[in-house]
Amino acid sequence: MKKMKTYASALAIAALAGCASDPNYGGLDATPPPPPDGGANPAQPPAGVVAAGVRWFGRVDTTTYAGQPRFSWSGTGFVAAFSGTSLAAEMTNSGAAPFFKTVIDGAPQAAFKAATGSGTYMLATGLTAGMHTVELYRQTEGPQGESRLLSLTVGDGALVDPPAGASRLIEFIGDSITAGYGNLGTAADLSNPDCFTLESAWDTYAGIAGRALGAEVSIVAASGIGIVRNYDPNDPGPRMPMLYPRAVANATTPTWDFHVEPQVVVINLGTNDISNGKGDPGMAYVDTYVTLLRTIRAYYPHTYIICTIAPLLNGGDLTTIRDHIKAAVQTVTTAGDAKVEAFDLPAQTSDKYACQYHPNVAENQLMADMLVAEIKAKVGW
C-alpha cells in the first residue's frame, strides 16, 4: 500500500480535543444546516471578504483578531492593489514554518519560506512607480498551523481598493492529494519522512484547474483525512465532516459563514478511509458521504457537485471506493438532486510519483485537464 502522511499532530490534537461530540460533525444522524439567508446568489462574484485593505481568497477569519485576518487552508491568501514601488507584509505564523507564493502583476514568483512567529516579508520590491497588484497564497496546509496578517506597508505610495473577484468560484474538498502534499518532490523522495516542505497548493490539480477556467479556488483539505476513518486508524483527530464547517483548520470556532456560493464543488475523499490496511469502510462511508453531500447542498442550493477519487488508490481498493461513491451519488440523485455526479480520474502511474508516492505536478496537470473538460461540459464555462 502506498504511504500517506498521517494527519494528526500535537497542535491539531490539542486544538481538536472533544470533537467527537462536535455538533458540526455531520455524522450519520446529523441534520444538514439550513442555507444561510435562503441560499447564496449563484451569480455573486467570489469577492466575499475584503479586510485589512485587501481581498481574500478562500476562507478567512476576520473576527478573532480585530483588524488582523487569520487564515490557514491551502491556497488561501489575498490580493492587494497599490500605487507605489514595493509591498511588505508583517505576518505571524503558528505551527510549522509555512511557505507562501506571490504573484506580482500577474507573474508568479518562486515560493518563499516564512518563519514561525512574527516577521516582515517583502512581497514585491524594485517596482516602477505606479499601480500594481500582488497576490499572496499560502502553500502549506492548514493543519500545519495558521497565519495572521498584521499589517501591509507600501513603499513610496499607498494601498488602493483591491480588484474585484472573478465571476467563477470552485470549492475543492479533499485530503493530502488536494492539499498538494509532497507534489514538488520526485521519485527520489519516495522515502522522504517530511513532504510538507515540498507541498504547493499552487501546483495542485485544484489550483491548475482554477487558473485554466478563470475561476477562484477555495480548498478545504488535510493530509490523512477521511470521511469516516483517517489514514492512521488510531488518529484521534477529526474526519472531514468535522472539519468542513471551519473557517480555520485547527480551530472549531469561528465557523465559516458560507456567504458565497461556488458554481462547482469537487470532492476527492476516500483514499484514507481504506488505505493503510484498514479494509473496506462499508456502509458507514456511504451513509456519511450522503450526509456530507446533503450538508453541502443545504449550503449551496445551485452548485454542481463532482465526486471523485484519485490517484493513489488502485486495484480492489480503488474499485471499492468508487463503488461506494457511486452508491452515495445514486442515493441523492434518486432523491431528486440532479446536480451531483461521480467522475472517475485515473489511477497514478509510477512515472508520476512524487514525495511518499503522492502525485507530482505532471499528474496534477493530467487530473486538472480532465476536470476542466468535465466542468466545461457540465457547467457551460
> Do residues 347 and 355 make contact, with C-beta atoms less than 8 angstroms apart?
no
Please spell the DSSP secondary structure of 147-216, one letter per residue.
EEEEEEEEETSEEEPPPPPPS-EEEEEESHHHHTTTTT--GGGTT-S--GGG--GGGSHHHHHHHHHT-E
Residue type, 268: N
Separation between Cα atoms, residue 346 and residue 205, nearest integer Å: 13
Question: Which CATH fold would you assign to the domain 10-41+166-379?
Answer: Rossmann fold (3.40.50)
Neighbouring-strand partners of residue 160:
81
Q: For the chain, which residues score pLDDT lower than 50?
A: 1-43, 45-46
CATH of domain 50-160: 2.60.120.260
Q: Provide the grid cell at 17.
A: 480535543
Residue limits of CATH 3.40.50.1110 in the chain: 10-41+166-379
Task: Encode pLDDT of 345-362 as tens digits.
Answer: 999 899 999 999 999 999
The reported pTM is 0.90
- Contact between 121 and 88 (Cβ < 8 Å): yes
Parts of the chain belonging to CATH 2.60.120.260: 50-160
**Rounded CA gap, 174 and 28, in Å?**
19
Nearest C-alpha neighbor of 58 from the set 132, 146, 150: 146
pLDDT, tens only, 90-142: 999 999 999 999 999 999 999 999 999 999 999 999 999 999 999 999 999 99
Side-chain half-sphere of 143: how many Cα atoms within 13 Å?
28
d(CA 90, CA 119): 6
C-alpha to C-alpha distance for 373 and 146, rounded to whole angstroms: 34
pLDDT score, position 150 = 98
Q: How far apart are CA 351 and CA 3, in angstroms?
A: 16
